[in-house]
Amino acid sequence: MSCLWTKSPVLADKPDALLFETATPPLQRHSGDPLRVYMDLEAGRRRSGREDLFISYHAKDDVQSTYAGALFHNGRNYHISSYKNNETLVYWSSSRCLSQRNQLAKSFLRLLPHHSFGKCLNNVGGLDMALSFYPECTNDANTPKWWDHLHCAMSQYKFVLAIENTVTESYVTEKLFYALDSGAVPIYFGAPNVLDFVPPHSIIDGTKFRSMEELASYVKALANDPVAYAEYHAWRRCGVLGNYAKARATSLDTLPCRLCEAVSKKGGRNARTE
């Protein structure tokens, strides 16, 4: 099976499928027309009602596309610090100040030394301060952007707070995977089945604690116990295995080939109309 994934109508003048993300597919598909593929990676994962194939973050849908791949953070500075800040334990950055998420973050962060670099609960003296703290994280000195140095700045901290905008099954976004990739231990609030997407013993699920005080006490104790902290990184010596391997294998990185396979199984433009 060969596959061409392109936006060019010249290169693919008779496509077997058309992908729709921000636009709604045509109401009807006639015989010989391309299959209609609709993608929604947002928490609601709503079908258009007009698609022949549906892509979402959930394994129950036609084609899954998780947030675990590298395409969500191309062009970043992947310098990872070998030093971890032992005084300021937690990194957080959020510039979409949702009330519920802000309240959760505030109730936790007040209990621990932390740096908050975004618009929400900023405590570092303003926006874009990460490069002032860590100039070695500069990726493009001419036009620095916050995402250029995200991983590098995170890597300076033992823990990264990751809170999803919406709590729903399987909605595990780049917020968590950024933290894992940076070499920190994520403190996570989000999907109840998050362990289906991450390496074993790699994250702290904040929802498993009876109170923020209990969670903060655990984080403090972990930060002061080198052996226990190292156990959260033991998976890194084993490579990408288990549930994490499955999440990476079904990410946006591999979507073109997997979608082509799904289109081929349906018969492409030769598929029967219903």
Q: Indicate if 36 and 159 belong to the same structural domain.
A: no
- Helix extents (H) in the chain: 99-109, 130-133, 150-154, 174-182, 212-223, 226-231, 242-249, 255-266
Q: Indicate if 114 and 216 belong to the same structural domain.
A: yes
With 0.85 as the threshold, say if the pTM is over it.
Answer: yes
Q: Indicate if 209 and 110 belong to the same structural domain.
A: yes
Give pLDDT tens digits for 193-245: 999 999 999 999 999 999 999 999 999 999 999 999 999 999 999 888 899 99
Q: Indicate if 181 and 55 belong to the same structural domain.
A: no
**Domain total of the chain:** 2
Q: Indicate if 123 and 225 belong to the same structural domain.
A: yes
Write out the residue range of the structural domain in which residue 103 sits.
90-242
> Would you give the DSSP letter of residue 5?
-
pLDDT at 65: 96
Q: Indicate if 141 and 225 belong to the same structural domain.
A: yes
Cα(75)–Cα(258) distance, rounded to whole angstroms?
24
Which two three-digit tokens encode residue 168? 């729903």
Cα(267)–Cα(21) distance, rounded to whole angstroms?
22
Cα(177)–Cα(183) distance, rounded to whole angstroms?
10
CB atoms within 10 A of CB 67: 21
Q: Is residue 74 in a domain?
A: no
Instruction: Please tell me which of 9-13, 29-33, 108-112, 133-137 the model is most confident about, judged by mean pLDDT.
Output: 108-112
